[in-house]
Amino acid sequence: MHYWSLYFFAKFALFLNESIRFSWQLNLLLAIFVSIRFRERKWRITQNAIAAPLALALLYSESNLPPIGRAFAAAKDLAGFSPTYLFELIGRFISVTDILIVLAMLVVYRLLSSRVRFTSFAFGVIMLVPLINHFTKQQDDRAHYLATKANEAVANRKDPASLLDNFYTEERARAPIKFPAVSTEKLPFDVVLLHVCSLSWDDLAFVGEGNPAILKRFDVIFRNFNSAASYSGPAALRLLRSTCGQVPHATLYGADPDDCSLFHNFTTAGYDVRGILNHDGVFGHFAGDIQSYSGLPSPLEEGKWGDIAMRSFDGRPIYGDLSVLSKWWQDNRLNASASAKPTALYYNTITLHDGNIVAGTPGSSLQTYKPRLDKLLADFDRFISQLEAAGKPVVVILIPEHGAALRGDKIQISGMREIPNPKVTMVPVAVKVIGMKANEEGAPPIFVDRPTSYSAVFTLLADIMNRDVSNLDQMQLSDLARALPTTRFVAENEKIIVMQNDRDYFMRSPEGTWINYAN
C-alpha cells in the first residue's frame, strides 16, 4: 500500500473532525485494491493510475463540496477566474498548516516505514469507522430519548421528512398575494427593490457591523428573515416568484404561474416594470435564468451608464451602485409627468460578491469585504436621501439574496455556500415608506422578529398599497407588521436542505439522509 496509507489516515482525521463523511465499505475496497502487490512496474503504474482518480472521486463524494455535476458545469466559469482569485480559493481549502501537517506525515512515514506495517494500521482505522458510527448513533439516540422525556412537546415531534412534507403542503395552501390596481390607490407610489448579493446578519456581525446605521432610516426591519437559498440564481427566482408560498428548489426552474410572479402582479396592477443590474448578468447564467423563469416582462438592463467601481473575479465591470441608481432616478422618475405610471424597479447588485477586485485596494476579497460593504451602504444611504428630497412617494425594500459566508465553519470553508445554513440565509430585510405621514426624524424602526420570508414582505407591500401612504403613520404600519404571516425555516439548494425543528437544525444530505446540523 506504501504511501496510500497516508491517504486513509488523513481521511480518518477529517472524519473524526466531522469535516467529511467516511464510506468505510468503499474505502475498504479501495484499500484492498491498492494493497495488491504487482512485481512488474507497468502493472504498478496501471494500478496507481486507476486508484488515484477513484480516490479523488471518493473523497469528493464524502465531502460537503457542491455536487460533481455542478462542479463540471462550473468548469467553464472557473477557466475565466483571474489567477489571483484562483490562488485565493485554493488558499481557503489548503492552508499552510495543512501543508506542514502533510509534510510531517511524509517524514514520519519515511522514518518508520521499514519498522512499522502502516498498511495494517490503515485497514484498522477503516474498520474503526463503523464502530465509531455505531456508538455515536447510540449516544445520539440516548440524547434524543432523554430530550424527549424531558419535553413532552418533543415527544410528539414528527420526523424531518414528514415535517418537510407538511411545510410544503402549508406553503401550497397560501392564497396568492394580489396587488390592488393603481387606479384604486389614493396616492400611487414607486417601488424600488434593492436585491443585494452576499449580505447576511452573520456577515454584518463578523465585520463588526451588527447594527448598521442605515437600517435606522427604515420603517420596518425583519430580523428573522430567511431568503431560503444560498446562490444568486435561485435566490432571485424566489424573490421574483414570491407572491405564492415557498416552493421546492426544482420547481423554480419550471413554468411560472402568473399569480406567483411578483412583476406580473406589478404589471397587472398598472405599474411599469424595470430590471437593472450593476453587472452584465452573464456569470452563472443569472440574467438568462431570470428572464426565462421569473415572469419579468422586459429584458434586464446592464447599468452601463454608471461608473465602473470594481471588477469581478473574471474581469467584468461592476458599476457603482449610487451612479447607476441616481442616474436612473434622475432620467426616468424625477421628471416624470403626473400622468405617468408608477414604476416597480428590480435592482440587483454584486458589489459584495466574493472575488471582486477594487483597484488600489490591496488584500483578498475577504479582506476587502468591509470597505466594499461600507461603500455599498453609503451609496444606498445617499440614494435614499435623493428619494426623500424629491418629495415623491416611494417604497424602498432592501432584501439580500443570501450571505457571503464570511465566517465559515468546520463543514464549509469561508465563502462556500453549498449548505444553506442560517448563517448564510438569514438576511437583513428592511422596508422604508418615503412620503408616509409619520416619517419623523429619529422615530425607531418597527422590528419583526417572528420567522418570516417573502410572503411577509409582499403582504406588507400589498397592505401599504391598500392605504393612502400620505396618511399612513407609524402606528398603522406597526399594526400591519404585527399581522404578517410567518414562515418556518426551510432553505435549500439543488441537493441539500436545511430545516429548523424547534431549536434544532436538520440537514438532508445529497444522499437523502437527515442529520443534525450544528450551525
**Residue 305: which CATH number?**
3.40.720.10
Looking at the fold, whether 208 and 82 belong to one and the same domain comes out as: no
d(CA 38, CA 488): 58
C-alpha–C-alpha distance, residues 401 and 253, integer Å: 17
Confidence grade of residue 149 (pLDDT, cut at 50, 70, 90): very low
pLDDT of amino acid 156: 43
Tell me what pLDDT residue 154 has. 42
**301: β partners:** 276
Dump pLDDT digits (tens) for 250-268.
Answer: 999 887 678 899 999 999 9
pLDDT tens, position by position, 173-186: 999 999 999 876 56
Same domain, 115 and 190: no
Domain assignment of residue 155, yes or no: no
Please check whether residues 407 and 322 belong to one and the same domain: yes
CB 369 within 8 A of CB 204: no
Last residue of a domain, one of 99, 124, 139: 139
In this prediction, residue 105 carries a pLDDT of 77
Q: Would you say residue 78 has pLDDT above 70?
A: no
Last residue of a domain, one of 100, 121, 139: 139
**Is residue 297 a part of any domain in this protein?**
yes
* Strand pairing class (272-277; 343-349): parallel
Judge if 305 and 195 occupy the same domain: yes
Query: What's the average model confidence in pLDDT over 275-301?
Result: 90
DSSP string for residues in 300-333: -EE-TTS-EEEE-TTS-EEE-HHHHHHHHIIIII
Q: Identify whether residues 173 and 134 lie together within a single domain.
A: no
Residue 440 predicted with pLDDT over 70 = no
Q: Does 203 lie in the same domain as 72?
A: no
Considering only residues 71 and 358, tell me which one the structure prediction assigns the higher pLDDT: 358
**Beta strands 190-196 and 343-349: pairing type?**
parallel
Contact at 8 Å (CB) between 7 and 31? no
Spatial distance between the Cα atoms of 336 and 482, rounded to a whole number of angstroms: 35
Judgement on whether residues 105 and 243 belong to the same structural domain of the protein: no
Report yes or no on 507 lying in a domain: yes
Contact 410, 18 (CB under 8 A): yes
Residues 131 and 216 in one domain: no
Q: 362 or 427: which carries more pLDDT confidence? A: 427
Q: Does residue 226 have a pLDDT over 90?
A: yes
Q: 321-330, 340-349, 409-418, 464-473 — which is least confidently predicted?
A: 409-418
Backbone angles phi, psi at 81, to 5 degrees: -65, 145
Q: Is pLDDT of 148 > 70?
A: no
Radius of gyration of the chain (CA): 26
Dump pLDDT digits (tens) for 357-372: 998 888 888 889 999 9
84-108 per-position pLDDT tens digit: 776 676 666 666 666 777 778 788 8
**Angle CA 245–455–290, to nearest 5:** 70
Considering the domain boundaries, does residue 210 fall inside one?
yes
| pTM score of the predicted model | 0.81
Does one domain contain both 58 and 177?
no
Give domain status of residue 95, yes or no: yes
**Is 217 within the bounds of a domain?**
yes
Going by pLDDT thresholds of 50, 70 and 90, the confidence category of residue 145 is very low
Model pLDDT, residue 377: 98
- The grid cell for 153 is 412537546
Q: Tell me the average pLDDT across 142-158.
A: 46
Q: Are 80 and 217 in a shared domain?
A: no
Q: What is the pLDDT of residue 108?
A: 80
What pLDDT does residue 176 have? 95
Structural domain span for residue 100: 4-139
Whether 123 and 255 map to the same domain: the answer is no
Please give the tally of structural domains in the chain.
2
152: pLDDT confidence band, cut at 50, 70 and 90? Answer: very low
Residue 274 has pLDDT above 50, yes or no: yes
User: Is 365 a member of any domain?
Assistant: yes
Using pLDDT thresholds of 50, 70 and 90, give the confidence band for residue 146: very low
- Within a domain: 456: yes
Closest CA to 270 of 391, 335, 189, 387: 189
Where do the DSSP E strands lie in 197-232?
220-226
Spell out the long-range contacts of 480-484 with Cβ–Cβ below 8 A and sequence spacing 24 or more.
Answer: 481/220, 481/446, 481/448, 484/448, 484/450, 484/452, 484/456, 484/459, 484/460
**Above 50 in pLDDT, residue 282?**
yes
Is there a single domain that holds both residue 106 and residue 174? Answer: no
